[in-house]
């Protein structure tokens, strides 16, 4: 193994047996042996990459592409069918938080058990115990059985153990949203700290901005192969464009299917056909949105926008009461839940507008958001805050850019030198 590398993955392939009519118990398996039909499904079809000591990399891709399987191979939860994996040093994983925790043991006792799984001796655990407890912020609960913990407390304790064991390699799978915002910030600060001290980090996440904050390289896995790799911002931009192109190709088919399903549901359960499946609707129904579109400046329907491109939101609505005034507004949330922006007519003009029986509203704004996936919320309220209609995650869209600045939005900056 090259001494510069902490991880070497060479042409790794992994398959799983997918059974179609496997018996559920021993009797079925004995009596109906011929039923056990299965196929070999290759999740990884030959991936190779190296990770230098002290480097952080991200693995991205859609669900089922092989990201988490790769991480489980690195932890030796699974083993490859072909190819080799070599790793140098102690490995700590944040794949299944709390693996090894016993519900009837106290938090303190579980620290000793869990840390020993990572290879620490009792003397080493004694030395780190107070630091682990303080990081978890569970001092007053640490001697209670963990079955009395909330899921957030449970995850805090497991996270605190895993990142305080002085591992050479840290593997993380979709668990960075631990606790409240302050605790998440503390987790990111800790990851930066251990990375600065030479820990090698591999992160699997759909939250691309998290990878961009920590990693030097991203690997985009698709259909069991590495499709692209390089600087996270560049790879993520290509990935988002590819995902949105596929989304657009399937959009008409999806809408047709949803309209059929929509028509079959009781009216009380129906969401408008223009909504995302994740949409949530509330309100009195005095005013109801009947359509929502995202368009470019030429009124063409669009789902991928460039940073600094103008975006137009077109809203159509129907009023079921007369003489109403409405406060129409919108909000934009990043995929990880960050509230990026929100405004309404009352904020912008100081007054609500008369609601028509059948009305249409256009909202145009200069997009300064940086590349990521976003959700749009729309709402109409009365002047005193009564919700007529409020649809969360009504539409989703992506932002791409040919520049590689970082953060949430682009600010106009001028560089002056002499």
Residue 169 sits in a domain of what CATH number?
Answer: 3.40.50.300
| Together in a domain, 70 and 137 | yes
Gap between the Cα atoms of 202 and 172, Å rounded? 6
Query: 267: how many CB neighbours lie within 10 A of its CB?
Result: 5
Residue 299 lies in a domain: yes
pLDDT at site 24: 62
Average of per-residue pLDDT across 320-348: 93
- Res 186 pLDDT > 90: no
Instruction: Say yes or no to pLDDT of 174 above 90.
Output: no
pLDDT for 159 equals 83
- Mean pLDDT for 333-346 is 92
Q: Look at residue 267 and tell me whether its pLDDT is greater than 60.
A: no
- pLDDT value of position 404: 78
Q: H or E element: which one contains 226?
A: strand 225-230
Give tens-digit pLDDT for 2-54. 889 999 999 999 998 876 666 566 666 665 565 566 778 899 999 999 999 99
Pairing status of strand 358-366 against strand 217-222: unpaired
Quick check: is 262 in a domain?
Answer: no
Same domain, 27 and 99: yes
Give the count of alpha carbons within 13 A of 81, CB side only. Answer: 13
Q: Determine the structural domain holding residue 318 and report its residue range.
A: 272-400
Please tell me the predicted confidence (pLDDT) of residue 96: 66
User: Is residue 409 assigned to a domain?
Assistant: no
- Give the per-residue pLDDT at 192: 87
- Other CB atoms within 10 Å distance of the CB of residue 246: 11
Q: What percent of the chain has pLDDT over 90?
A: 50
- Are 308 and 394 contained in the same domain? yes
CA distance 236 to 58: 10
Same domain, 369 and 289: yes
Let me know if residue 249 belongs to a domain: no
Q: Do residues 228 and 307 both lie within one domain?
A: no
**Distance from the first to the final alpha carbon of the chain:** 50
339 and 223 in a common domain: no
What's the pLDDT at 310?
95
Domain match, 100 and 191 both = yes
**Is there a domain that residue 213 lies in?**
yes
User: Are residue 393 and residue 288 in the same domain, yes or no?
Assistant: yes
Asked if 12 and 46 touch (Cβ cutoff 8 Å), the reply is yes
Enumerate residues 6+ apart whose C-beta is below 8 A from 131: 164
Give dist(CA 240, CA 402) in Å, integer: 13
Is it the case that residue 55 has pLDDT exceeding 60? yes
pLDDT higher than 70, residue 342: yes
Please tell me the total count of domains within the chain.
2
pLDDT of 73: 93
Pairing outcome for strands 217-222 and 56-60: parallel
176 vs 191: CA distance, rounded Å: 10
More confident residue, 210 or 130: 130
Q: State whether the Cα torsion 144-150-154-159 is positive or negative.
A: negative
Mean pLDDT, rounded, for 163-183: 76
The answer, yes or no, to whether residue 294 has pLDDT greater than 80, is yes
Which is higher by pLDDT, 33 or 400? Answer: 400
Residue 391 reports pLDDT greater than 60:
yes
Query: Given pLDDT bands bounded at 50, 70 and 90, which one contains residue 160?
Result: confident
Considering the domain boundaries, does residue 130 fall inside one?
Answer: yes
Query: pLDDT value at position 410?
Result: 92
Q: What is the pLDDT of residue 268?
A: 44
Torsion of CA 141, 146, 147, 152, to 10 degrees: 80
The CATH number covering residue 356 comes to: 2.70.50.60
418 domain-assigned: no
pLDDT in tens, 110-150: 999 888 887 888 999 999 999 999 998 899 999 999 889 88
Q: Which residue has the higher pLDDT, 52 or 208?
A: 52
> Which pLDDT score is estimated for 258?
56
| Predicted local confidence at residue 229, as pLDDT | 94
Same domain, 165 and 94: yes
Residue 78, domain member (yes or no): yes
For residue 220, the model assigns a pLDDT of: 95
Choice between 313 and 150, residue whose per-residue pLDDT is larger: 313
- Note whether 362 and 223 are same-domain residues: no
Nearest to residue 214, comparing CAs of 406, 372, 73?
406
Quote the CA–CA distance of 89 and 418 in Å, as a whole number.
Answer: 49
Q: What is the chain's mean pLDDT, rounded?
A: 86
Task: Select the highest-mean-pLDDT range: 73-82, 153-162, 374-383.
Answer: 374-383
Residue 416 clears pLDDT 70, i.e. is over it: yes
Same domain, 231 and 357: no
Mean pLDDT of 399-406: 84
Does residue 216 sit in the same domain as residue 307?
no
- What is the tens place of the pLDDT at every residue in 279-292? 999 999 999 999 99
Cα separation of 132 and 92, whole Å?
15
């Amino acid at each position: 193994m090259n001494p510069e590398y902490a991880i070497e993955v060479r042409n790794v392939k992994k398959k799983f047996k997918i059974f179609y009519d496997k018996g559920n118990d021993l009797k079925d398996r004995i009596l109906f042996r011929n039923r056990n039909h299965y196929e070999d499904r290759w999740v990884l079809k030959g991936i190779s990459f190296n990770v230098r000591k002290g480097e952080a990399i991200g693995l991205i891709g859609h669900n089922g592409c092989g990201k988490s399987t790769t991480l489980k191979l690195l932890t030796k939860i699974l083993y490859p069918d072909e190819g080799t994996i070599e790793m140098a040093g102690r490995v700590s994983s944040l794949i299944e938080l709390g693996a090894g925790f016993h519900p009837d043991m106290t938090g303190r006792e579980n620290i000793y058990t869990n840390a020993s799984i990572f290879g620490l001796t009792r003397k080493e655990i004694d030395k780190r115990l107070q630091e682990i407890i303080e990081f978890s912020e569970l001092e007053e609960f640490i001697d209670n059985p963990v079955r009395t913990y909330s899921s957030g407390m449970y995850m805090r304790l497991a996270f605190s153990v895993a990142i305080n064991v002085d591992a050479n390699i840290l593997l993380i799978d979709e668990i960075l949203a631990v606790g409240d915002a302050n605790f998440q910030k503390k987790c990111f600060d800790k990851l930066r700290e251990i990375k600065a001290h030479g820990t090698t980090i591999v992160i699997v996440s759909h939250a691309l901005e998290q990878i961009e904050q920590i990693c030097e390289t991203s690997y985009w896995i698709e259909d069991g192969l590495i499709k692209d790799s390089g600087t996270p911002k560049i790879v993520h931009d290509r990935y988002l464009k590819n995902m949105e192109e596929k989304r657009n190709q399937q959009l008409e088919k999806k809408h047709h299917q949803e309209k059929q399903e929509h028509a079959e549901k009781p009216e009380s359960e129906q969401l408008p056909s223009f909504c995302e499946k994740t949409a949530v609707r509330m309100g009195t129904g005095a005013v109801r949105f009947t359509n929502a579109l995202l368009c470019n400046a030429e009124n063409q329907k669009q789902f991928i926008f460039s940073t600094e491109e103008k975006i137009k939101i077109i809203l159509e609505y129907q009023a079921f009461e007369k003489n109403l005034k409405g406060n129409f507004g919108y909000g934009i949330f990043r995929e990880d839940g960050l509230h990026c922006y929100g405004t309404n007519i009352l904020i912008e003009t100081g007054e609500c507008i008369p609601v028509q029986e059948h009305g249409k509203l256009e909202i145009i704004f200069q997009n300064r958001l940086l590349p990521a996936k976003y959700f749009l919320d729309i709402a109409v309220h009365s002047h005193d805050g009564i919700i007529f209609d409020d649809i969360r995650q009504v539409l989703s869209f992506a932002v791409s850019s040919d520049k590689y600045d970082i953060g949430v939005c682009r600010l106009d900056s001028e560089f002056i030198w002499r």
